[in-house]
A = this chain, B = another copy of it.
């Protein structure tokens, strides 16, 4: 079976370098409940973070940190969640998710059971900035740093 992150982008591409791309999750429950949900997808098909040489690992986390900084700066989330799981798709990707105390799952992880009703009409409307502005700021930060 082909790896879906080797054969497709996996979301809306907001930035791309030779080593990785940054996508925003735009489909399904996740995008509706957690609109500022980004993923850094490493270009090469490696399963584990420790498969990367040190310089690539540092560059990878520098980029993850840039995404986190943009989310904090533009959206002032209650918390940022970072995770590299890959149990279903074992191709290295980092989840970078802005969490809010009003989101449907907070303080539980996004993968756990909901804690309250969803924001009616989608949570994106409650963000301090339009997602297009967040996308653009991430693209600029990655271009500057990486």
- Interface residues of chain A, those whose CB is within 8 Å of chain B, are 47-50, 54, 57-58, 61-62, 64-65, 68-69, 72, 78-88, 90, 99, 106-109, 111-113
Contacts and interface: CB of A to CB of B under 8 A. Distances in A.
A130 B108 CA distance: 31
Given A58-B58, A88-B107, A99-B87, A47 B79 contact: yes
B82 A49 contact: yes
Contacts of A82: 49, 83-85
A78 B87 contact: yes
Task: Say how many copies of this protein the assembly contains.
Answer: 2
A79 B90 contact: yes
A131 B111 CA distance: 27
Contacts of A87: 78-79, 81, 99, 106-109
